[in-house]
Amino acid sequence: MRVQGENYRRDLGIRSYPFLVYALVTLSALVLQAWLPHFLHGHTWFDLPLIVTIYFALSRRDPIQGTIMGAGMGIFEDALTNHAVGVSGIAKSVAGFLSGSVGVRIDVDNFIVRALITFLLSLLSGAIYVLIYRVLLGMDQEWRGLHELMKAVGSSAIAMVLFPLLDMTQIWD
């Protein structure tokens, strides 16, 4: 893992993607996240919206884009549940911000690094989710460590497969 200076981003080509890729990938992630658990007996051992948020934030190396995209994805996810709208939004905003910030300083072309970042940010996102419920809202929300660990592992595994596929759609400036 090479740690680079802040100006390293300028030295690298900024990756960009066609609008259709943005739209289709984000929409597919949201729809599949809601649809796939229906087949998996209710088990949700992955977080596709978080994976997509991390990918685009890392690739674009832009914390602001990661923040806004994470907020949008999270709010959309919350809207499909019976929970308060905004809890996942905050958690994924932070994850997107950190992904973009990390992308500026670290070479994230290595797929193992990207999987590791996905693993850590998945755990962090889950922790923020529970923290907001308990501290900010004062409501009961149990921390299920094993489940969050499985979810982080599942997300990392999907990221290792999905990221190279998405890399093929990028446009080099």
Residues that bind another protein (CB under 8 A): 27, 30-31, 33-35, 37-38, 41-44, 63-64, 67-68, 71, 75-77, 79-90, 93-94, 97, 100-101, 132, 136-142, 144, 147, 151
Helix (H/G/I), strand (E/B), else coil: 110: coil
CB of 111 to another protein, least distance (A): 25
CB of 147 to another protein, least distance (A): 7
Residue count of the chain: 173
Q: Within a 10 A sphere around the Cβ of 10, how many other Cβ atoms?
A: 11
For the chain, state the CA radius of gyration. Answer: 16
By C-beta, is 52 or 71 nearer to another protein? 71
CB of 10 to another protein, least distance (A): 15
Cα gap 170→54, rounded to integer Å: 15
By C-beta, is 63 or 166 nearer to another protein? 63
CB of 38 to another protein, least distance (A): 5
15 membership: H or E segment, kind and range: strand 15-16
Cα gap 126→83, rounded to integer Å: 15
